[in-house]
Amino acid sequence: MSRLFLLFFLYAGLAAVWVWRLQPADTAVAQDPQRTPRLERLSKYLIKCPPSVAKRILMSIVTLEDERLALVDAWLSLPPMQQLRELTVRESAMLKKAGTLRDSLLLGWLGQEDSVIITKEAHLMIAASGGRLDDQMRLYAFEVLADRARREGDLESAMMILDRAAELPRSGWSITLTYVQIARSREMHSAALAAITDWLKKAGEAAPAKHLDEARELQVQLLVRLNRAEEALDLQLQRLQALPKDAPVPEAILGRALISARACHEQIKILPWLERLLACFPDHSVKPEELLTRADLDDNYLHWLHEYAAIVDRELPPAQAFEACLRLAATGERGALARICALAENAKALPAATSFLHQALSQPTLRPAVLDLAQQDALARRIVTEALRKAPENRDLQFAATLAEAAATPASATVLWQSYLRRFPQDAPAQRRLIQAHLTARQPDLALRVFDSFDPQHLTDADKHQREVLSQL
C-alpha cells in the first residue's frame, strides 16, 4: 500500500512538471526533452529505498537540474558494483555539490535485489567511503549488506560486516545481537562472548534496561557454555554486592547468579542473597502452619523458596534444612513433605514434624501427599494410623492404612483388602488391589470372581481386557 502511495505521489509530481512545461512560451524556460523519461527511470529505481524516506527523496529529485539528471541517468545504466564505486570511493561530477543525492542513490542501490551485487566487496567500498558517507548512512548500509549476506548463506561475510558496524558510534544492541546469533549458529561461542563483552563496556548503564538484561543473560549462557561458570558467578556477585544495603535484590541478577552457581557447584555463595530476597516477600513473615491455609501465595515467592530450600537441604546441617523444607512443604510442595520426614530425626525435630503432618493431613492440598507418603515413611504411616483411630469410618484413611500394611506384609494383602471391602464394598480401587493380590498369590479364579462382583459402570477398558484374559485361562 505504501509503495502504491509513493508511485501515486511520484506521478503527481511528474504531472506537475508537465504542466510547468506546457506554460505559454513567453514564461516557460527551455527544458531537456529527456527530462521526464529520465525522472521516470530514476523514480522507479529510488522507489526501492526505505518507505520512511521515499517521499522526501522523490520530492528532491523533481528539482534536479537537467545536466545533473543526465549524469544520474547515465549512472543508472552502469553495473551495480560500478554504481556503488561511483557513490563511495570515486570523485564523481554527478555528485559534486549535490547535497543529499549521494545518500538518496545509495538508499535506492541498497534496495535493489540484483544478483550481481557482491556483498563482501560492497561492504569494503562502504567502509572505504571516508567522509563521503556519515556514520548513520554507513551503519544502515552495513545492516542491509549483512542481512543480504545472511540470506545468501554467507555467514562469514555477515559476521565480518556486523563486526565492522559494531565499531561505529551509533551502533546499537540489535547489531551485536545479530552478530551473536550468527556466531552461536556457527558454534563460535568465544566470538559471541567477546562481542557481548565489548558492547556491555561500550554501553554501560546508559543502555535500555531491556537490552542490558538480554546482553547479560547471553553473557552468562556463553560463559557457562565455555566452562567459565566461576567467572560468570563472580560477575553476578559483583553486581549484587554493589547494591545499596536497603535496595531490593533484582531477581534477574539473582537468577543469573543461580545459573552460574549451579554450573560451578557453588550454590552456597548465593544463599545470603536468596535470604535477602525472600525477606522482602510478605509471605515469608508468616509461620509455616499459617502458610498451610493460604491459597494465594506469590508465585515468585514460591519459586525462590524452592531454590533456597534445595540449596539449604544440600549444603547446610539437618536442622536448617528441616526448617527450609518445612516452610516449602507448607506451600503444598509434596517433595518437601517427604524431606521433613526424612530430616526430622537428625534435626531433632520429631515433635515439630509430627504436629505439622497432622495439620497437613487436614488440608486438601497436602492430604493426598501425606496418604501417599504413608506407604514409604514410618512417621507418615504413624500419623495416618493415629488419625484413623479418631475416624475409623474415614475411607481415605482406611484405604491408605490398608495400602501401607499390605505393602509392609505382602503375604497378608488379600486378607487385608477383603477386610477393607467388607467395610467399603464396591470400592473399585480396592477391588483392583484385591485382584492384583490374588494374581500375585497365583489365584486367578479368585481374581476372576472379584471381577464378577464389579459394578459394570466402574469397569475400564483395561479391566475388561484383563477379565477376558483371565476367563480364557
pLDDT digit string (tens) for the chain, length 473 residues: 455 444 544 544 444 444 444 444 444 445 678 889 999 999 999 998 898 888 888 888 888 999 999 999 999 999 999 999 999 999 888 999 888 999 999 999 999 987 778 899 999 999 999 889 999 999 999 999 999 999 999 999 999 999 999 999 889 999 999 999 999 999 999 999 999 999 999 988 888 999 999 999 999 999 999 999 999 999 999 999 999 988 999 999 999 999 999 999 999 999 999 999 999 999 999 999 888 888 789 999 999 999 999 999 999 999 999 999 999 999 989 899 999 999 999 999 999 999 999 998 888 888 888 888 888 888 988 988 888 888 888 888 888 888 888 888 888 888 888 888 888 888 888 888 888 988 888 888 888 888 888 888 888 888 888 888 888 77
Here the cell at position 31 is: 527544458
CA–CA distance, 430 with 419 (Å, rounded to integer): 10
In order of 75, 211, 244, 334, the CA distances from 179 in angstroms are: 34, 15, 35, 45
139 in a structural domain? no
Q: Which residues constitute the domain of residue 51? A: 1-114
* 274 in Cβ contact with 301 (< 8 Å): no
Domain assignment present for residue 9? The answer is yes
pTM (two decimals): 0.76
What is the torsional sign of CA 360, 361, 366, 371?
A: positive
End position of a domain, from candidates 114, 147, 173? 114
406 touches 433 (CB < 8 A): yes
Whether residue 323 lies inside any domain: the answer is no
**Residue 393 CA from chain centroid, whole number:** 51
Residue 239 lies in a domain: no
Residue 202, in any domain of the structure: no
Give the residue from 45, 80, 114 where a domain finishes: 114
Please give the pLDDT value at position 25: 42
Domain-located, residue 2:
yes
Q: Cα separation of 100 and 43, whole Å?
A: 15
Q: How many domains does the chain have?
A: 2
Asked if the structure places residue 88 within a domain, the reply is yes
> 10 Å Cβ neighbour count for 31?
12
Q: Is-contact 301 323, C-beta < 8 A?
A: no
Which pLDDT does position 29 carry in this prediction?
Answer: 46
Distance CA 357, CA 351 (A): 10
Q: How far apart are CA 94 and CA 76, in angstroms?
A: 12
Q: Is residue 344 part of a domain?
A: no
Domain end point (choices 81, 114, 147)? 114
The pLDDT, as a whole number, for residue 24 is: 47
What does the pLDDT read at residue 452?
Answer: 83
Nearest-angstrom CA–CA distance, 83 and 105: 9
HEC states along 368-426?
A: HHHHHHCCCCHHHHHHHHHHHHHCCCCHHHHHHHHHHHHHHCHHHHHHHHHHHHHHCCC
